[in-house]
Structure 1
Amino acid sequence: MEKVFIVGVGLTKIGRFYNRSAASLFREALERAVSDAGGLKPRALVVGNMTSSVLMQQDSLGALLADHSGLRGIPAFKVEAACGSGGAAFYSGYSLVKSGLADVVAVGGVEKLTEANTPVVTRALAQAADADFEVFYGATFTGLNAMLARLYMEKFGYTEEDLSYWPLRMHEYASHNPYAQLPKKTSLKEILESPVIAEPIRLFHAAPIGDGAAVVLLVRGEEKAREIARQTGKDVLVEVAGVALATDSVDLASRNDLLTLESTVKASRAALEMAGVEAGKVDYVELHDAFHVTGFASLEDLGFAPKGEAPRLWKEGRFGKGDKPEVNFSGGLKARGHPVGATGIYQIAEAAMQLRGDFPGFKASSPETALTHNIGGISTIAAVTVLRRVK
């Protein structure tokens, strides 16, 4: 069967854009992706989004964005998988291209979280949890992650400071990223003195609320991809080598192990097997770190660190420049930002640019393979994608 390639990427800066609509953000990202692909126009559109129904009072989002982007008439639809909506949308778009239903597909994500104040947004994001068994009793998404953080710290013997090295490094990387919402360095002192939002999670331990949009263009067939590369002066192709989705229970009480993200384990193993790549051979990773504990647990369950060892290895300098894998040079959700339904597409676009060598921020060490990891809820759903550099 024909292979699938990423031939164009487009991103907006992430921020709080009170005077801009989701449609305008999306159109900006789409136009950048089309320009990056030499003017190639998509024949289908798949959009990842979580909160349009609640915060924007807008359904029919796929059709709306196609219309506002000058693509009226093409197949277009929205995919919702909580914070993993972008990764799930990519899985859907890849399927359209791989099956031959469409030969050029735009896969995007957009979120407009500043459509409401923080308490309303907090309630909207809590819908990633179980409505009957968690949200009904007052649980927030931050609160649920705080319980996991406390359990992780007690089981493996870590302190609040130990886990704070994650955001410290994310802010360092984000300071180089022109798309980042929080492009500034910080210090352990500033992190540890930031307000508590759900003990033991402080403000600087969590991803910010923000708006943003990202789009990638997929094509079917290496010949088509090479033609576009020649037209745009690129000497590297980015192949989509593996994709996978997996799920777990929505409520935490039903989990087999509270500190194992089983959907992440399953999706990563399936995507790596599809790509024919071992975890130890992956060069670059963009993983989901909505909270510091999520970043550490994800490193472990993706197969890059033994269980309970990620904070220690991270503090020692592992997973930085020159290591294998290099991780989250974008600044991650923590500092690049987390416009929920767009996050998975940001990750894929950033990984593709790292493989091409034209990421405008902190650059990886000439990677040949990259893995992205986007989750909804506390890994209720996990989307993992493996990309390969092809010369």
Structure 2
Amino acid sequence: MSLSTGGGDTASDVYLVGAGQSPYGAFPDESYRSLFRTAYESAEQSAGGVDPGDVDEAFVGTLGVGGRQLGLAGPAVTEHVGLHGVPCTRVENACAASGYALRQAVMAVKSGMADLVLAGGVEVMTDMSTEATKYWLGVSGETEWERMAGTTFSGVYAQMADSYLREHDVSREALSHVAVKNHANGAKNPDAHLRFTCTVEDAESGPVVADPLTLYHCCPTSDGAAAVFVASEAVAQSFDEKVKISGVGAASDRVGLFQRDSYTSVPASKQAGEAAYEMAGIGPANLDFAEVHDCFAIAELLAYEDLGFCERGEAGALATSGATAIDGEMPVNTSGGLKSKGHPIGATGAGQAVEAFKQLTGKAGARQLDDPQRGLTHNVGGSGGAAVVHVFEREDADPVADDENTEVVR
């Protein structure tokens, strides 16, 4: 029997009812189809089973690294998992592709056009030469004046890091503390690409990739896939576990770093965060954890400030204080983040939602937080040309008092 209620309810809340991913890493024997099947079946299992006939719509994020199946990559994977006839849209927004796919799923349910939607992403990145990988990563930057001029993404983020460290008189060790924390978390994640720990000394003495960034300050290129099921309030009642998507925000900005007014902030992140907080009726102080886009360690520091976790210029102190560790006041990247868990471009945003679902349903294993009620995911495309933020909360989350300060920290 179909779960469809015949068109959804535009006033209803929207829920995650299942979430899963493939392991992230280098898998020469896997394809983008097989990786997506692993993620889909994991999400289906976490939902307690999903009848393909009940899925109304699908959105799949992918950059299409390496040139494989550039056209119809979405239908190629959804048909492979048995979603025959289900309309599927491929979403490309660089590294924010599946974060935007999730946003599209929420919009489809909110609009009343769908009751149960699949959102996910997939990327295969490790079957190319280093030169080819740099090319495909570079196309998410400004093509004419960055990529074709020879600038790499590590070079772009190195400019951001150098500017931030100088502007706020912060030691490079702050970047290394981010790496150490995320590796410690990723070591507890069976799906992570880099499951090893490191020290500040390791990170500081690593080979320089683009000064001031060392190898330990940079995420790996990974193969992987992630998938989540998004349901209307009426349909969600049929599932044993559900997590409310209470806030969504997104923004775009100039694609090239050189086109922006500041190298030490990502305006799209700030705007997306503020929109998500407003929709959810909360502020950063009401969060219990966050998964932020840390393709490079400096990106996590900037996210702290853009998302209101601290004042401008205080991200370095926040990172070194231990507050963002898994046992800190505001855990960030419990999954290991892009730095340790990995960064299969098209899968990253959906993979962050998988971690949020696991934390809020008590299924995060060795990295499980103590009774989290609300969490946030933050997914960035390129060096900030696009950003999307989602706020998730348990159904039984304590309400936020009307007089509680929910303003974003300035």
TM-score with structure 1 setting the length? 0.95
Equivalent pair of 1:55/1:121 in contact (CA under 8 Å):
no
Aligned match for 1:195, one of 207, 215, 227: 207
- Alpha-carbon separation, structure 2, partners of 1:147 and 1:28: 38
3-state SS in 2 of match to 1:293: helix
The aligned residue for residue 146 of structure 2 is 134
Cα drift, residue 57 of structure 1 = 4.5
Cα drift, residue 142 of structure 1 = 0.9
The aligned residue for residue 58 of structure 2 is 45
Equivalent pair of 1:321/1:365 in contact (CA under 8 Å):
no
Cα drift, residue 245 of structure 1 = 1.0
The aligned residue for residue 238 of structure 2 is 227
Equivalent pair of 1:55/1:116 in contact (CA under 8 Å):
no
Cα drift, residue 119 of structure 1 = 1.4
The aligned residue for residue 321 of structure 2 is 316
Equivalent pair of 1:164/1:188 in contact (CA under 8 Å):
yes
Runs ≥4 residues deviating over 4 A: none
The aligned residue for residue 116 of structure 1 is 128
Cα drift, residue 166 of structure 1 = 0.6
**Quick check: 1:292 aligned with 2:297?**
yes
Equivalent pair of 2:256/2:383 in contact (CA under 8 Å):
no
- Alpha-carbon separation, structure 2, partners of 1:323 and 1:329: 11
Cα drift, residue 322 of structure 1 = 4.8
Unaligned runs of 5+ in 1: none
Residues 114-157 of structure 1, C-alpha deviations (whole Å, 9 max, x = no match): 23112111111111111112112111111111111111111111
Which deviates the most, 350-359 or 322-331? 322-331
- Alpha-carbon separation, structure 2, partners of 1:55 and 1:33: 27
Aligned match for 1:250, one of 252, 255, 266: 255
Cα drift, residue 365 of structure 1 = 2.3
The aligned residue for residue 328 of structure 1 is 333
Residues 32-72 of structure 1, C-alpha deviations (whole Å, 9 max, x = no match): 111221221323211011134x4324320111112211112
- Alpha-carbon separation, structure 2, partners of 1:96 and 1:325: 32
The aligned residue for residue 338 of structure 1 is 343
Q: Which amino acid aligns with 2:239?
A: I
- Alpha-carbon separation, structure 2, partners of 1:80 and 1:225: 28
**Quick check: 1:169 aligned with 2:178?**
no
Structure 2 matches for 1:1-391, cutoff 5 A? Answer: 1-40=11-50, 41=52, 42-52=55-65, 54-221=66-233, 223-229=234-240, 234=241, 237-391=242-396
| Percent of aligned positions that are identical | 36
Which deviates the most, 343-352 or 250-259? 250-259
Equivalent pair of 1:130/1:251 in contact (CA under 8 Å):
yes
Equivalent pair of 1:55/1:113 in contact (CA under 8 Å):
no
Q: Which amino acid aligns with 1:318?
A: A
Cα drift, residue 79 of structure 1 = 0.2
Residues 298-341 of structure 1, C-alpha deviations (whole Å, 9 max, x = no match): 11110001111111121121122454422111111000111111
Equivalent pair of 2:164/2:263 in contact (CA under 8 Å):
no
Cα drift, residue 170 of structure 1 = 0.6
Residues 244-299 of structure 1, C-alpha deviations (whole Å, 9 max, x = no match): 11011111122122211100110000011001111211111000000010000111
3-state SS in 1 of match to 2:282: coil
- Alpha-carbon separation, structure 2, partners of 1:187 and 1:38: 40
- Alpha-carbon separation, structure 1, partners of 2:38 and 2:57: 17
| CA RMSD across the alignment | 1.3
- Alpha-carbon separation, structure 2, partners of 1:215 and 1:110: 9
The aligned residue for residue 405 of structure 2 is none
- Alpha-carbon separation, structure 1, partners of 2:371 and 2:146: 44
- Alpha-carbon separation, structure 2, partners of 1:99 and 1:176: 39
Equivalent pair of 1:33/1:216 in contact (CA under 8 Å):
yes
Cα drift, residue 106 of structure 1 = 0.8
Give the aligned length. Answer: 383
Q: Which amino acid aligns with 1:100?
A: G
- Alpha-carbon separation, structure 2, partners of 1:166 and 1:339: 20
Q: Which amino acid aligns with 1:226?
A: Q
Change (3 A) 1:361 1:27: same
